[in-house]
Structure 1
Amino acid sequence: MPGMIDRRPAPFRSAPAMLAAAACACALLAGCGTPARPLESSITDMESLQLRSWLSPQLRRNIDLLPVTGGQETSMWWGSRINAMTLNQTYQESFRRLGLMPDVPETGRYQLQVEVLALAQPNVPVLPEVALSIRYTLTERVAGGGKVLYQRTLRTTQKAGIDDSLNPSEQLRIATESALRNNIADLIRELASLALPA
């Protein structure tokens, strides 16, 4: 009605505007890309203690890592990708903790090639589930190319939720890092059961 006066106190009139501003801020925060981090993606010290006990003495300090391929840069607006530098640091740190890398680089009996084939993430990163496919090829180091001892593509999935973080982008990052860490752990379990030539 014309001539009516709003007698509500000022805070009540501005509450919807404040809520809208807070919602926009949260949306912007959740929309920022958060790349995976190498230490969080690596095998933990606790996991390495268990996995090391399964490994053959032939593998210890005997696997040289070739440069890991298939990394992707994270968009500044959305997502959580794993770039090449993070991938290489993750595998080097994991293999160091597991005692698989030789003391002197490029002196191991074996070489491992790691190729990230696919990283599937949801378009809406709320309670996300991430799937990661990585191909591994283990060969003997000999002049002219060695025999392939192991080649397989391993696929791991991982979910994250509000127990991990309230921020959807952080949930996506955590799920991505966990999927990579689980993939490395699956590889180590398979290498531990591998019949190697004497």
Structure 2
Amino acid sequence: MPGMIDRRPAPSIRSPRLALLAAAACACAALAGCGSPARPLESSLTDMDSLQLRSWLSPALRRNIDLLPVQGGEETSRWWGSRINAMTLNQTYQESLRRLGLMPDVPDTGRYQLKVEMLALAQPNVPIAPEVAVSVRYTLTERAAGGGNVIYQRVLRTTQKAGIDDSLNPTEQLRIATESALRNNIAELMRELASLPLPN
């Protein structure tokens, strides 16, 4: 007996359910594929953190730290990722110092100068529940002609994770983790400066 041939049509991949699933997958891919750069206000110290840290800092630092141009910024890809560009870095540190009351009322009149260098921003290749690490070198010097004494110099490394509780979008998770890692780094710097033996 000759073999039977099944002449029924193959299942259509255009069924409404499959089409809906395909559309959802495309939407998720599109969301995850767009770059989302870090933002300065979200990377800066919060008001609550600033109030707490301000009470620890020496009065000698208040309105007495000039911020030198921050180095190490990098532009975010249009298609993927979350980086911190130079403008965002500068705005982040300016805002944090301002909230702490450390920037002088008149620029370039502070007793101290703070140099900030972003050395590394480590991010996972797949931004799903990412953990981001930030390494920054800080150098605090006394202002003086020809260069002042180095009061403090150290590389600080901080990390932060983000997940679906923060955002369903993987790229947004990466941005949130990046901003938080930098904010943690600034807070760690301020705790270090609070322990410096400075004259009042």
Superposed CA deviations along residues 108-161 of structure 1, whole A, max 9, x for unmatched, are: 000000000000000000000000000000000011100000000000000001
Shift of 1:70: 0.1
- What is the 5 A alignment of 1:1-198? 1-2=6-7, 4=8, 13-197=15-199
- 3-state SS of 1:87 partner: helix
Distance 2:109 2:138 in 1: 20
Distance 2:142 2:157 in 1: 24
Are 1:158 and 1:175, in contact at CA under 8 Å, matched by a contact in 2? yes
Are 1:36 and 1:80, in contact at CA under 8 Å, matched by a contact in 2? yes
Paired positions, count: 195
What letter matches 1:194 in structure 2?
Answer: L
Sort the Cα spacing of 1:197 and 1:146 in 2 relative to 1 into closer, same or farther, 3 A. farther
Alignment TM-score, normalising by the size of structure 1: 0.94
Distance 2:76 2:187 in 1: 24
Shift of 1:197: 5.0
Alignment TM-score, normalising by the size of structure 2: 0.93
Structure 1 unaligned regions, length at least 5:
none
Distance 1:167 1:62 in 2: 41
Tell me whether 134-143 or 26-35 shows the greater mean CA deviation. 26-35
- 3-state SS of 1:58 partner: helix
Superposed CA deviations along residues 31-90 of structure 1, whole A, max 9, x for unmatched, are: 111000000000000110000000100000000000000000000111100000000000
What letter matches 2:102 in structure 1?
Answer: L
RMSD between aligned alpha carbons?
A: 1.7
Runs of 4+ in 1 over 4 A off after TM superposition: none
Are 2:60 and 2:199, in contact at CA under 8 Å, matched by a contact in 1? no
What letter matches 2:90 in structure 1?
Answer: N
Distance 2:196 2:123 in 1: 32
Are 1:149 and 1:196, in contact at CA under 8 Å, matched by a contact in 2? no
Give the percent of matched residue pairs that are identical in Structure 1 and Structure 2.
80
